[in-house]
Amino acid sequence: MTKTLTVFAALIAISTFGCKKEEKKEGGETANPCASKNPCADKTAKNPCNPCAGKATKNPCNPCAGKNPCNPCGDAKPDPMAHLPKDKNVDMVIAKVGHTKAQPTDPVHVVFEKVTVKESKIKNLKDLSGSTATIEIDVMAPNSGIAKRDAHLKKDFFKGVAVVKIGKVKKDGDGYKAEADISLNGVSLKWPVTFKVVEQKDDWVRVQGMHKLKRSDFKVGTDIEGPADDVDLMLQVTLKKG
């Protein structure tokens, strides 16, 4: 009986003194006794005395002590897509790759924005059949969203630039099929590819193509364990008439 009364008294003490929702100051102003411990309460919860309402806690005034005060519940996770170009119309290559052992952030999107159209021969923007293009990609400027990983990619995965030559373009339904001659890391291979027109103006056309390849085909990090061998590539370039 004595033990029960002790626990009951402790609960009353906590509810009375631990975290009052209102406390009158002189002049009738309402003070928040938890404000100093949770300075961003107004940004995270309607109840400033319990920003992690509904979660177990030992400290009613700061149930998420030790975590970011502007995100006391720690619910926000890094956005693995935050590094993708805000301008969706830029010329770019995006390589999407996972890991042999799946990771929470898979797939990783490696962006290459230093893409240069060295030459394009297009006679008719309304029908790209017979057109050709040569595109260079600076693979030494990767952006995976993590600087340390980018440095690793530059050191152990790539050399120089990648060159893509597009030819034998033919109409194929709503899009086109073509042959791509890709050179990377001293290896040159040809593949059949497909692409589509995503935007067209009077003197240029923006095209976008998708293709699957294997890292090992181009000796890309072949001695590195972890990343999967299969890679999904997306290439977007703007080609001028001429």
Task: Give 5-33 pLDDT, tens digit per residue.
Answer: 444 444 444 444 444 444 444 444 445 44
Q: In 51-91, where do the E strands start and end?
A: none
CA distance 236 to 207: 6
Q: Which residues lie below 8 Å from residue 78, measured CB to CB, with a gap of 6+?
A: 105
pTM over 0.85: no
Identify the residue with better confidence: 91 or 85: 91
Mean pLDDT confidence for 153-160: 88
What is the predicted pLDDT for the residue at 34? 46
Q: Which CATH number applies to 92-240? A: 2.40.128.110
CA distance 68 to 44: 11
CA distance 185 to 158: 6
Buried (b) or exposed (e) across 212-240, using 16+ Cβ within 10 A? ebebebbebbeeeeebbeebebebbbbbe
- CATH 2.40.128.110 occupies which residues in the chain? 92-240
What is the predicted pLDDT for the residue at 242? 84
Q: Which pLDDT band, with edges at 50, 70 and 90, does 94 fall under? A: very high
Mean pLDDT confidence for 188-203: 95
Q: Output the six-digit token pair for 212.
A: 């699957």
Residue 122's Cα: distance from chain center in Å?
34
